[in-house]
Amino acid sequence: MSVKYCPLCMAKKVIRSFRLNSEVKEKYNNGVALTPPMGWSSWNLFRNKINENLIKEIADAMKNSGLAEAGYQYVNIDDCWQNSSRDENGKLRTDFITFPSGIKALNDYVNGLGLKLGIYSSNGTHTCEDYPASLRNEKIDADTFAEWGVEYFKYDFCHNVPVPTIAPRVVKLNIGERNGKDFYEAVAEKAKLEGNAHLVKEKKVEGGYYIKGLCANGGSAEFGGIIAEKSDVYVLTLVVRKAVRKEKFIAFSVNGKKEYYLYVPEMKRFTAEARLQIEIELEAGENTIKLFNPISSKQDSAFFLYKLMGNELKRATKEYAEKNSVPEKKIVYSICEWGRNKPWKWGAEAGNLWRTTPDIMPVWPSIFALYKLTIRLGRYASVGAWNDPDMLEVGNGKLTYEENKSHFSLWCMMCAPLILGNDIRKFIKSDGTADTDSKIYRILTNKNLISINQDILGIPCKKIKGLARKSGVDVLVKPLDKKRVAVCVFNTTSGKKKVTIDIDKIASLTEVNVDKKEKYNILNCWTEENSEGNKIISTTYKHDCDVFIIS
């Protein structure tokens, strides 16, 4: 069959290749991170200079400084904990010198303090620091993390290899038992074809035809009448017509329920056919298997691969708990693909939080840029599914006091995860007590701000225009539980800004649930002053902000 040249089809194909075509159906819903996660990560300050003693000291400091009591509970090891090779069973393992006791022992130590440990890998062949990573090792790595007992997992995007949109040319499908006996065999002609899928004559292959057109979710081939004697695991053998061009990918949907996947390598063509095998579960009685390639763009690929790991994590923690008769330790799943593939559109189905931006740096232009990128994405976040403008730089670099304060306030208002990036050991004085006078400590433990971030409604702030009527001042409004609302007046300029905001106007906003009244209760979250009135009056200087809770 010859396929005619079709300019419209070509244009459609190009458009599809740039957008998300996969359907986003339901939330990840693993029951954790119901409010934005709070903790610490090794990356922002320590980079590759980490070891197990540092992690222990940080965990000690988190507990002894009172940060734990303020809500911070995850101690996250970022990149560079890994050994440069996997062990003899293919499992990830730690650097022999810097993490000699291994992650399980470190996890036990951290748990012993009432805290939780987090770990890191990449959705690629290697991590960003070029250590072995989890792409195509999702199952074994998820099992390893569950066995170690970690409760936070950050999954980066370096060295990612997108899932091919190309599908193999299918000659034949066999199903059999591991002892070599096939009980089902069907050549290409037997399949029910849909969409672009069509038969191509080829005398070199069995049956005289192969199926083409399964690429980029454009078509499918269904093989029916597969009778299994009992529900069990069977061997599926796929015979394909060899093709030199690139690696390929195919999905098998069994009875429209469980899916299996197969990568078909780039091939030499000394012979015409290649045989590929996977194990699948069939139900007793009649089964149907549908072949297709669900991927038609980079966004589809990212969504698919992040979701795959998310599902493995859920499976692994559940199975580990059942096998060992221990309570399940669910893993907060943090997607870190830097906003490249618009993760706000699919992240809620794949995991608990997703980076919206490139990496943060401890300088004001970086903080401000990440705020600008994330503030417009509030509508995509909800309970258990958060926008992540990256970990905090409060206390790092050369940020001024006001910039540190605004950085923290903005992250709280946006429902961002509060993952500290500074050396929290410095909060412990030589006598072992917490340095509660430290300005940075006071910022990070401000209970009003933390309560805004952790509010159970989980609604990120929205920038409302026209409330301040002054250029360079952003007014952010975040609905809170119990008919309250948080308002942040953020001075983005280098000068002084005085603004007066009518609270009735805030109470009239459709997204805000505050009863209109003559006098509102106004709590200044940074000065702790309480007042009554119907106007917010705020004077701020360079890069500073005021935050109020109105009720």
In the complex, the residues that contact ligand GLA under the rule CB under 6 A are 43, 78-79, 127-129, 156, 336, 338, 359
> How many Cβ atoms sit within 10 Å of the Cβ of residue 520?
23
CB of 46 to ligand GLA, least distance (A): 11
H or E element, residue 538: strand 535-540
CB of 102 to ligand GLA, least distance (A): 21
Locus of tokens 């060295």: 159
Residues in the chain: 551
Q: Cβ closer to ligand GLA: 287 or 357?
A: 357
CB neighbours of 194 closer than 8 A, spacing ≥ 6? 219, 220, 221, 222
- Alpha carbon of residue 291 to chain centroid: 28
Q: Which among 265, 286, 284 has a CA at the least distance from the CA of 276?
A: 265
CB of 396 to ligand GLA, least distance (A): 13
Cβ distance 369 to 12 under 8 Å?
no
H or E element, residue 48: none
Q: Cβ closer to ligand GLA: 220 or 356?
A: 356
Q: Cβ closer to ligand GLA: 348 or 392?
A: 392
Integer Cα distance of 122 and 112 in angstroms: 28
Q: Cβ closer to ligand GLA: 42 or 301?
A: 42
Q: Cβ closer to ligand GLA: 78 or 143?
A: 78
Q: Cβ closer to ligand GLA: 55 or 274?
A: 55
Residue nearest to ligand GLA (CB): 128
CB of 322 to ligand GLA, least distance (A): 32
Q: Cβ closer to ligand GLA: 156 or 393?
A: 156
Integer Cα distance of 505 and 501 in angstroms: 8
CB of 249 to ligand GLA, least distance (A): 26
> How many Cβ atoms sit within 10 Å of the Cβ of residue 486?
26
Residue 356 token pair:
């919206």
CB of 520 to ligand GLA, least distance (A): 40
Torsion angle, alpha carbons of 60, 66, 72, 75, to 10: -10
Integer distance in angstroms from the first to the last C-alpha of the chain?
71
CB of 419 to ligand GLA, least distance (A): 10
Q: Cβ closer to ligand GLA: 218 or 362?
A: 362
Q: Cβ closer to ligand GLA: 78 or 312?
A: 78
CB of 27 to ligand GLA, least distance (A): 24
Radius of gyration over every alpha carbon of the chain, rounded to an integer in angstroms: 27
Residue 139 token pair:
């199952």
Q: Which among 215, 206, 38, 201 has a CA at the least distance from the CA of 116?
A: 38
CB of 360 to ligand GLA, least distance (A): 8
Q: Which among 398, 396, 378, 397 has a CA at the least distance from the CA of 388?
A: 378
> How many Cβ atoms sit within 10 Å of the Cβ of residue 516?
11
